[in-house]
């Protein structure tokens, strides 16, 4: 009797397994069969939005392109579309395609910007599966029209109350603040990356503006730019031309958006002098990260790998993760480690005479 039951259980288990495999294979087949059509429809929908997001543009006068950005050490491709005037040469504006995590899943967005990439001309949510009746309202005209005419050089946040006319913010959807802020983060990151792609000098200008804030008393005239194979570092010198610090920047996705940092090492590249935040859009930043002094906790550490701990008190090369901001804390720690590794290697090359320093 017991043996018969055992055999029945095995038969049932194999039946369930075979059904699962069959259904899985069938679903995969359906996905493959429909995927080409889905992508074609999405492509058509993308081009249909060009005249709506860029005033006077035609979807028949468009050049598409890609550029790459460094995200956590990986080269990620970004797609853009350039709308041309009737002469076929003059740009009327650009449409950017971007995506990011919402409250439920990935949100795909199209962003129109003017020819000078100074203002947003429109936003369209291409794909989303946010909460029906709440987060799904990010596709509504009332929500996306708020982005029109917003500056690409200023931060855009989703506020619970109606923003003042002079502010660069929008009003969040009631009971869908996270979905609303996610769209703001996606839009802000996309236009920022595209501006940097078109104008490589933006990164240099930001570094020159932030290094004196990072190292009080330092002037821009003391900063020397050094171009390596695929990145730039900065040598800060005193009146006699001797190095005071070595600086480089790094960026990585945090919990909500990209975090941009500058890291300074002492003249011998043995100690981290300071970590400076150039840009961030994280939640709980002031209330948790700043209050905990997390960024400052890297100062004085050896220019070696730093380990982040969550519960145990930090010691030596350890830093304490910030409560309710673990992902943000992890991103910052990884940026610092990557920049320190890059800086120490670059300075070693310079001191060996393998790289020429370009004075500004």
pLDDT at 70: 73
pLDDT at 201: 66
| pLDDT greater than 80 at residue 133 | yes
| pLDDT greater than 60 at residue 224 | yes
Instruction: Read off the pLDDT of residues 117-131 as tens digits, 9 standing for 90 and up.
Output: 889 999 999 999 999
Check: CB of residue 276 under 8 Å from CB of residue 214.
Answer: yes
Phi first, then psi: give them for residue 246, nearest 5 degrees: -120, 135
Q: State the CB neighbour count (10 A cutoff) for residue 264.
A: 24
Q: Angle at CA 282, nearest 5°, toward 279 and 288?
A: 110
What percentage of the chain reaches a pLDDT higher than 70? Answer: 89
Phi first, then psi: give them for residue 245, nearest 5 degrees: -165, 155
Tokens 């700043």 map to which residue? 290
Instruction: Report the C-alpha dihedral over residues 266, 271, 273, 274, rounded to 10 degrees.
Output: 130
Encoded tokens for 186: 């996606």
pLDDT at 19: 77
Cα–Cα distance, 165 to 173 (Å, whole number): 18
| pLDDT greater than 70 at residue 72 | no
Cα–Cα distance, 127 to 199 (Å, whole number): 30
Comparing CA positions, the residue from 344, 360, 355, 70 lying closest to residue 208 is 360
Question: What is the DSSP secondary structure assignment for residue 146, as one 8-state letter?
Answer: G
| pLDDT greater than 70 at residue 90 | yes
pLDDT at 307: 94
Instruction: Read off the pLDDT of residues 138-174 as tens digits, 9 standing for 90 and up.
Output: 999 999 999 999 999 888 999 999 999 889 999 999 9
Q: Provide DSSP, 153-211.
A: SS---EESSPPPTTSS-EEPPTT-HHHHHHHHHHHHHHHHHHHHHH-THHHHHHHHHHH
| pLDDT greater than 90 at residue 13 | no
Mean pLDDT across the stretch 100-111? Answer: 94
Check: CB of residue 231 under 8 Å from CB of residue 254.
Answer: no
pLDDT at 50: 94
Cα–Cα distance, 154 to 167 (Å, whole number): 10
Lowest-confidence region among 106-115, 166-175, 204-213, 263-272: 204-213
Tokens 């958006």 map to which residue? 257
Encoded tokens for 345: 């290697």
Buried b (16+ CB within 10 A) or exposed e, 316-352: eebbbbbeebeebbbbbbbbbbbbbebbeebbeebee
Check: CB of residue 281 under 8 Å from CB of residue 185.
Answer: yes
Cα–Cα distance, 117 to 192 (Å, whole number): 9
Question: What is the DSSP secondary structure assignment for residue 255, as one 8-state letter?
Answer: S
Phi first, then psi: give them for residue 92, nearest 5 degrees: -95, -20
Cα–Cα distance, 245 to 267 (Å, whole number): 5
Instruction: Read off the pLDDT of residues 41-64 as tens digits, 9 standing for 90 and up.
Output: 878 899 999 999 999 999 999 999
Cα–Cα distance, 195 to 242 (Å, whole number): 34
């Amino acid at each position: 009797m017991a043996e018969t039951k055992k055999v029945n259980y095995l038969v049932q288990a194999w039946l369930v397994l075979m059904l699962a495999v069959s259904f899985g294979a069938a679903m995969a087949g359906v996905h493959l069969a429909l995927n080409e059509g889905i992508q074609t429809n999405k492509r058509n929908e993308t081009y249909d939005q060009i005249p709506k997001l860029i005033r006077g543009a035609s979807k028949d006068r468009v050049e598409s392109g890609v550029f790459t950005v460094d995200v956590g050490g990986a080269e990620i491709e970004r797609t853009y579309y350039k709308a041309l005037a009737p002469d076929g040469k003059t740009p009327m504006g650009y449409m950017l395609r971007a995506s990011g995590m919402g409250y439920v899943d990935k949100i795909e967005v199209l962003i129109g910007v003017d020819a000078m990439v100074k203002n947003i001309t429109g936003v369209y949510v291409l794909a989303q599966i946010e909460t029906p009746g709440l987060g799904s309202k990010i596709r509504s005209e009332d929500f996306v029209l708020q982005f029109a005419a917003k500056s690409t050089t200023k931060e855009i946040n989703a506020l619970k109350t109606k923003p003042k006319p002079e502010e660069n913010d929008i009003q969040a959807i009631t009971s869908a603040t996270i979905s609303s802020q996610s769209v703001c983060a996606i839009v802000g990151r996309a236009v920022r990356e595209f501006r940097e792609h078109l104008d490589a000098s933006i990164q240099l200008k930001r570094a020159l503006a932030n290094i004196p804030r990072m190292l009080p008393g330092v002037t821009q005239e003391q900063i020397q730019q050094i171009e390596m194979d695929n990145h730039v570092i900065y040598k800060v010198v005193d009146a006699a031309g001797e190095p005071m610090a070595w600086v480089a920047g790094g960026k990585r996705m945090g919990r909500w958006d990209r975090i941009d940092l500058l890291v300074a090492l002492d003249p011998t590249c043995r100690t981290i002098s300071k970590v400076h935040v150039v840009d961030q859009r994280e939640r709980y930043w002031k209330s948790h990260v700043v209050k905990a002094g997390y960024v400052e906790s890297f100062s004085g550490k050896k220019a070696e790998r730093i380990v982040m701990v969550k519960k145990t008190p930090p010691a030596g090369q350890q830093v304490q993760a910030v409560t309710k901001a673990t992902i943000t804390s992890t991103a910052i720690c990884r940026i610092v480690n990557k920049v320190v590794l890059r800086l120490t290697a670059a300075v070693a090359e310079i001191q060996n005479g393998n790289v020429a320093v370009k004075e500004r």
